[in-house]
Structure 1
Amino acid sequence: MTRRWRPSLWFVLGGAMGGTLGLSLIGLVIFRYLGPVIGFGEAAILLGAAIGILTGALWLILVRLLQRPVTGLAAYAAAVRAAPDAATPEPAHFGTRELHRMAVNVIDMAGTLADREATIRSFTDHVTHELKTPVTAIRAATELLEDDPALSPGNRALVGQIAGAGEQMQRQLAALRELAAAREVPLGGGGRLADLLPSLGADHPGLQVTAGGAERPLPLSPDVLGIVLRHMADNAAAHGARALRLTADAEGLTIADDGKGISPGNRAHVFEPFFTTRRESGGTGMGLYIVARLLKAQGAEIAIAPTPSGTTFRITFPG
């Protein structure tokens, strides 16, 4: 950013109001004295042209000092949001002092968020990479111990618990990698239920998946929509559902199943990380959290909708 003199916002607004009022008053005075000399019709045309030119110059000043910096900053923010890792050029014009300070803060905030995102991604990659080897070693060791015919029943039960803990760690690491990948999914739209129903049914043969409004384009990319629906189908199947109904409309997407439902005490916690009622059967508590975070990154929201039986989720898209 280049250092230059920048007028204050109050000076620009006050000058615009003062200039408009001054042009009107000066025009009346000049018209009063110029009319008898050159004729009132000619004086009106001359003053109208002069006031129009001066008003146009004032408009250009306001566009340069107010409208162009605001639209440039908005375009910069939109470009950073669409491609956080890309080198987005900073706005070229900053207008008044107040707009300059706001632009500096927005640019600094974008850089801070990008650095934080890179740190989280690097830490996630490091943790998952470092833990992958010991978890694999635990799994291999338990498999060798389980094949030992001399292992006592008590020790065999202990080895089974160790194996289960190793599998749980693998699932948590997979969920962590998926969460990190979900944060990097690009924004976009055009995803349709019709394009994802075949793979969703094939991945969940125990679920009867049906859809309403399947051809309606949704404001989510196919990748994002696929991740969301897969997690929702996994969650429904894990809670005993046999049927899953997807309904897309102009305001959002409804996902309803006929499973055992969610107890009132658990409703406030289902979108929290690592919250699960299936810990003993391998639940990681990350599925709905990933869905909620992914949708939030797209500007959408998910909530539990009232239903007499089963579970219904409602996804609302930004207007």
Structure 2
Amino acid sequence: MRGIVRKWRPPLALVVGGALVGVFALPILGLVSLRLWGDVLGWGEAATLVVVLALVATTVLGLLLWRLVLRPVYALTDYARAMKAGEAPQAPTQFGTPEFSALGASVMAMGNSLHSRAEGMKAYSDHVAHELTSPLTAIRGAAELLETAPPPDDAATLSTTIRAASDRMQTLLDDLGHHARAGTSAGPGTSRLSAVAADLPEMPLDIGVTADGAVPLDAQDLHTILTQLARNAAEHGATRLDLSVLEAGIQVTDDGPGISTGNRARIFDPFFTTRREQGGTGMGLSIVRSLLAARGGRISLADSIQGAAFLITFD
């Protein structure tokens, strides 16, 4: 989406005030002009001139109101209707007054957030059934075999299969719940990186803050984000996680094996994981992305000599 072009425009109060002054002043000016020119040009010619000047002034005022008020309202209305219909409209880039620019930016940000949530729900419908099919099939098959009264050793193996499949389903459902709650978490706020990092759950890796500072996120949201990133790093073999507050946002780096070129474009997709055999659900980074999108933030891969590096930025 293109950003709003910042150009000087008169504030809405000046536009409305100017229109009111024009409405009030035009009749008075017409009467004065008719009085002054009536004896010189004749009353008929003077009246015609006053009418022409009034029409010109009214036309100019109408064009200004259309340019500065009506056109931005129509453009923003069309954009909102297209977003509601599920389309991907071209966002307006110019608005008539600073007030409409602020309103337009807010509406477009809201539209992007809703569009992001809609894409997340579509991802659920596309992937949840597929992810739950495997454990359900294992449970159904094991249950059918148990009905045939197999030997004790086989029965124990089938029971283990059912428990493992049930645990897998529970893990998937838990992660789906985290993902769904990511868009409706604590809300706007500010927290300190070091304070939140000190409260992270214990994991098999060292977490250090190399550059501390304030973060435009509620402590609960930041805790969820850092927990998911730390867990993701630990599960992929990292032993160290470094957190830094930069001018651009937050940088998170680890000393793990890094992310291969072929996987870089997919790591934020729901259910994408390279650890499926070890129980990975592929929801951690998707949870982080959804939570940040709901708070006006973004996460992206950053360049790193060793390990994986992520950059979190905010609007």
Give the TM interval when normalised to the shorter protein.
0.5 to 0.7
Structure 2 CA distance for aligned equivalents of residues 236 and 281 of structure 1: 14
Structure 2 CA distance for aligned equivalents of residues 213 and 62 of structure 1: 51
Conserved in 1, the CA contact under 8 Å of 2:255 and 2:308? yes
In structure 1, the partner of 2:152 is 151
Equivalent of 2:227 in 225, 230, 234: 230
Displacement of 1:111 after TM fit? 11
Q: What is the 5 A alignment of 1:119-138?
A: none
Cα distance change on mapping 1:314 and 1:173 into 2, 3 Å: same
Structure 1 CA distance for aligned equivalents of residues 289 and 72 of structure 2: 36
Work out whether 1:256 is the aligned partner of 2:253.
yes
In structure 1, the partner of 2:162 is 162
Q: What is the 5 A alignment of 1:101-250?
A: 102-103=76-77, 106=80, 151-152=152-153, 154-200=154-200, 203-214=201-212, 216-250=213-247
Cα distance change on mapping 1:101 and 1:252 into 2, 3 Å: closer
Tell me the alpha carbon deviations over residues 166-187 of structure 1, each in whole angstroms, 9 at most, x when there is no partner.
1111111001111111111254
Displacement of 1:211 after TM fit? 0.4
Conserved in 2, the CA contact under 8 Å of 1:304 and 1:314? yes
Displacement of 1:156 after TM fit? 3.2
Conserved in 2, the CA contact under 8 Å of 1:228 and 1:291? yes
Structure 2 CA distance for aligned equivalents of residues 101 and 267 of structure 1: 37
Letter in 1 for 2:152: L
In structure 1, the partner of 2:278 is 281
Conserved in 1, the CA contact under 8 Å of 2:273 and 2:282? yes
Displacement of 1:209 after TM fit? 0.8
Letter in 2 for 1:256: T
Return structure 1 stretches of 4+ with deviation > 6 angstroms: 110-114
Structure 2 CA distance for aligned equivalents of residues 223 and 110 of structure 1: 31
Displacement of 1:251 after TM fit? 1.1
Displacement of 1:108 after TM fit? 8.9
Work out whether 1:99 is the aligned partner of 2:73.
yes
Tell me the alpha carbon deviations over residues 233-271 of structure 1, each in whole angstroms, 9 at most, x when there is no partner.
110110111111000112111111112222222122111
In structure 2, the partner of 1:8 is none
Conserved in 1, the CA contact under 8 Å of 2:239 and 2:254? yes
Any gaps of 5 or more consecutive residues in structure 1?
A: 1-11, 35-54, 68-94
Displacement of 1:297 after TM fit? 2.2
Give the paired residue count. Answer: 222
Displacement of 1:223 after TM fit? 1.9
Equivalent of 2:296 in 290, 299, 310: 299
Identity percentage of aligned residues: 38
Structure 2 CA distance for aligned equivalents of residues 308 and 229 of structure 1: 21
Superposition TM-score, scaled by structure 2 size: 0.57
Bigger relative CO (Cα 8 Å, ≥ 6 apart): 2
In structure 2, the partner of 1:80 is none
Conserved in 2, the CA contact under 8 Å of 1:303 and 1:314? yes
Any gaps of 5 or more consecutive residues in structure 2?
A: 1-14, 38-56, 87-110
Q: What is the 5 A alignment of 1:30-41?
A: none
Tell me the alpha carbon deviations over residues 171-227 of structure 1, each in whole angstroms, 9 at most, x when there is no partner.
110011111111112541312212212221xx134221110332x211222222111
Displacement of 1:105 after TM fit? 6.0
Conserved in 2, the CA contact under 8 Å of 1:240 and 1:260? yes
Conserved in 2, the CA contact under 8 Å of 1:189 and 1:217? no
Structure 2 CA distance for aligned equivalents of residues 304 and 97 of structure 1: 39
Structure 2 CA distance for aligned equivalents of residues 105 and 314 of structure 1: 30
Structure 2 CA distance for aligned equivalents of residues 181 and 108 of structure 1: 27
Letter in 2 for 1:210: G
RMSD: 4.4
Structure 1 CA distance for aligned equivalents of residues 313 and 72 of structure 2: 35
Cα distance change on mapping 1:161 and 1:105 into 2, 3 Å: same
